[in-house]
Amino acid sequence: MTNNRLFDDASQRLQLALKYVDLPDDVLTSLSYPKASLSISIPVRMDDGSLQIFQGYRVRYDNTRGPAKGGVRYHPNVSPDEVQSLAFWMTFKCAALNLPFGGGKGGITVDPKALSKMELERLSRGYVDAIADFIGPDIDILAPDVYTNPMIMGWMMDQYSIIQRQVCRGVVTGKPLALGGSQGRNSATGTGAFYVIETLQSQLDLVPSETTVAVQGFGNAGAVVASQLAAAGYRIVAVSDSRGGIYAPQGLDIPSIRQQKEASRGIQAVYCEGTVCSLVEHQVITNEDLLKLEVDILIPAALERQITAENADQIEARYIFEVANGPITSAADAILEQNNILVFPDILVNAGGVTVSYFEWVQNRSGLYWEEAQVQGQLQEKMVAETQAIWQISQQQGISVRTAAYVHALNRIGAAVTAKGTRTDYLNP
Ligand SMILES: NC(=O)C1=CN([C@@H]2O[C@H](COP(=O)(O)OP(=O)(O)OC[C@H]3O[C@@H](n4cnc5c(N)ncnc54)[C@H](O)[C@@H]3O)[C@@H](O)[C@H]2O)C=CC1
Ligand SMILES: O=C(O)CCC(=O)C(=O)O
């Protein structure tokens, strides 16, 4: 059965994992609701002089292990339910990677492609004006997510600094380098996912030259993991963006697709409108077709709920690495498991982004900036260690890798919740 609320579905993963941890009921009780949720209206003066009001949100799901941390999404489908679910996932992601953060997330219901750059800047600054009392370098730290980027993070950091009357770099990560961003943050989500796959290469019997890969979503996360896998010799046979995709069994030329895409052309246009790549024989496919391809590795890297009870039986991949947040519903998980398709979960696979965000926050606070090699080295170290730990839990306890990742995260969150106690302990010792 499909849950209508994304959050109900998300919290099922927690219920499953609770069977494999030994934690007091207080832990589950305190993780059942977000700590705080904010809904705001953002008035924006449009270029034509009219006034438009946009709806925005920020949810602080949990902050037991540290300030809340998570991105801001600009998308027409952003809703309170989606933002709360994304903040919930951030809580477990930060714990799975042992980052000293809780989980948060934000969003604005908007189609950013329909706004001019000036309108986008006014919207982003308006969002920060409206949530300024709710965020801060020790409270809740913003970052990029779908359809937001370093330029927007720069505006947000600047607006917060204007409000505080001091430069506040640590309130936003994923900033441009010129404003205190970190080397490697822009590519960190895809690179982190690549390290997860690389770490499991021998356990999964992956020989790069014989391994085919399909990637749904060719943005910050998807394009980077596709590039890294292609550079390591994997055969990327299909990629897509919001307008659809392309499939070439002999393999696609990822660097030239990236180049064209960065020049603002859709994926299909790269091949179909006579560019450098047009000689490669290919088929135009839909996003739904891409998911059903017979490939070794499927990487959903776009939005949530792409693989559901309706299409899970048609998935032919051997392994799925979730680079997007929440691309598989819990009902689909059960079907995939029955069909022996191994799923590697979002809270591990896409955690490279928030890991380098943590490095950025550390650099901002210390005032000491790291070389690219130091960032990559520390990212790799963390991704490898936590991937191995989660894989081991999964093997030892005979549970899915997703449940193992939740068990791993829950043990850390549980220790913090227990150590902190609740205020009622003082009243009723
Ligand atoms: N940017 C980051 O650091 C992180 C992102 N993620 C997750 O990765 C996923 C992608 O995010 P980003 O790459 O940052 O976003 P992005 O805005 O850079 O790219 C999104 C990509 O998805 C495509 N897309 C949009 N709707 C689609 C649809 N219905 N079907 C297929 N493709 C579609 C877009 O055309 C674009 O290529 C999201 O689930 C996000 O939450 C997770 C961790 C960190
Ligand atoms: O970099 C961050 O703080 C969070 C990125 C994010 O939103 C995510 O991991 O889903």
Please state the ipTM of this predicted complex.
Answer: 0.99
d(CA 352, ligand 1 centre) in Å: 14
pLDDT at 27: 85
Q: pLDDT, tens digit, for every residue of 176-227?
A: 999 999 999 999 999 999 999 999 999 999 999 999 999 999 999 999 999 9
Cα–Cα distances in angstroms (integers) from residue 205 to residues 208, 210, 318, 405, in the given order: 10, 10, 11, 21
Q: Which helix (H) or strand (E) holds 7?
A: helix 6-18
Domain-located, residue 231: no
Atom of ligand 1 nearest to the CA of 325: 39
Is position 355 annotated in a ligand binding site?
Answer: no
pLDDT at 421: 77
Average pLDDT over residues 36-52: 98
Cα–Cα distances in angstroms (integers) from residue 365 to residues 114, 229, 262, 368, in the given order: 36, 34, 32, 8
- pLDDT higher than 70, residue 67: yes
At residue 30 the predicted structure's pLDDT band, cuts being 50, 70 and 90, is: confident
pLDDT at 280: 65
Is the CB of residue 192 below 6 angstroms from any atom belonging to ligand 2? no
d(CA 89, ligand 2 centre) in Å: 10
Catalytic residues: 105
Domain-located, residue 230: no
Ligand closest to Cα of 148 equals 1
C-beta separation of 254 from 226 below 8 A: yes
C-beta separation of 176 from 148 below 8 A: no
Neighbours of 173 (CB within 10 A): 30
Rg (CA), the chain: 21
Average pLDDT over residues 386-404: 98
Q: pLDDT, tens digit, for every residue of 234-288?
A: 999 999 999 999 999 999 999 989 988 888 667 777 666 555 455 567 899 999 9
Average pLDDT over residues 231-236: 98
Q: pLDDT, tens digit, for every residue of 72-110?
A: 999 999 999 999 999 999 999 999 999 999 999 999 999
Q: Which one has a higher pLDDT value, 428 or 166? A: 166
Share of the chain above pLDDT 90, in %: 89
Is position 175 annotated in a ligand binding site?
Answer: no
pLDDT at 423: 61
Domain-located, residue 199: no
3-state secondary structure of 347: helix
d(CA 424, ligand 1 centre) in Å: 42
- Least confident range from 196-210, 236-250, 339-353, 410-424: namely 410-424
Q: How many domains does the chain contain in total?
A: 1
Helical ranges in 113-149 per DSSP H: 117-131
Nearest CA to ligand 1 atom 11: 146
Buried b (16+ CB within 10 A) or exposed e, 25-62: eebbebbeebbebbebebebeeeeeeeeebebbbbbbb
Tell me how far apart the alpha carbons of residues 79 and 56 are, in angstroms, rounded to a whole number. 8
Domain-located, residue 145: yes
Is position 420 annotated in a ligand binding site?
Answer: no
pLDDT at 418: 87
Domain-located, residue 212: no
d(CA 41, ligand 2 centre) in Å: 23
Cα–Cα distances in angstroms (integers) from residue 13 to residues 78, 98, 330, 348, in the given order: 22, 19, 7, 14
Q: How deeply is 197 buried, as exposed, middle or buried, from its count of CB atoms within 10 A (0-12, 13-18, 19+)?
A: buried
- Tokens (6 digits) for 405: 């990742």
Name, in order, each residue with C-beta under 8 angstroms of 22's C-beta and a sequence gap of 6 or more.
Answer: none
C-beta separation of 387 from 401 below 8 A: no
Is position 209 annotated in a ligand binding site?
Answer: no
Identify the residues whose C-beta falls under 6 Å from ligand 1: 144-147, 189, 216-222, 240-242, 287, 301-303, 323-325, 350, 353
pLDDT at 24: 87
Beta bridge partners of 193: none
Ligand closest to Cα of 77 equals 1
CATH code where residue 175 lies: 3.40.50.10860
Pocket test of ligand 2: the residue of 145, 148, 175 to mutate, having most ligand atoms within 8 Å of its CB, is 145
Average pLDDT over residues 333-357: 98
Is the CB of residue 91 below 6 angstroms from any atom belonging to ligand 2? no
Is position 189 annotated in a ligand binding site?
Answer: yes
Share of the chain above pLDDT 70, in %: 94
Domain-located, residue 384: no
Average pLDDT over residues 5-24: 94
At residue 1 the predicted structure's pLDDT band, cuts being 50, 70 and 90, is: very low
Tell me how far apart the alpha carbons of residues 238 and 197 are, in angstroms, rounded to a whole number. 18
pLDDT at 28: 85
Tell me how far apart the alpha carbons of residues 5 and 20 are, in angstroms, rounded to a whole number. 25
Atom of ligand 1 nearest to the CA of 350: 43
Domain-located, residue 139: yes
Nearest CA to ligand 1 atom 24: 242
Name, in order, each residue with C-beta under 8 angstroms of 46's C-beta and a sequence gap of 6 or more.
Answer: 52, 119
Domain-located, residue 45: yes
pLDDT at 271: 65
Helical ranges in 292-351 per DSSP H: 330-338, 346-349
Nearest in space to 168 (alpha carbons), one of 186, 153, 183: 153
Work out the mean pLDDT of the chain and round it to a whole number.
94
Tell me the residue range of the domain where 43 lies: 34-179
Is the CB of residue 34 below 6 angstroms from any atom belonging to ligand 2? no
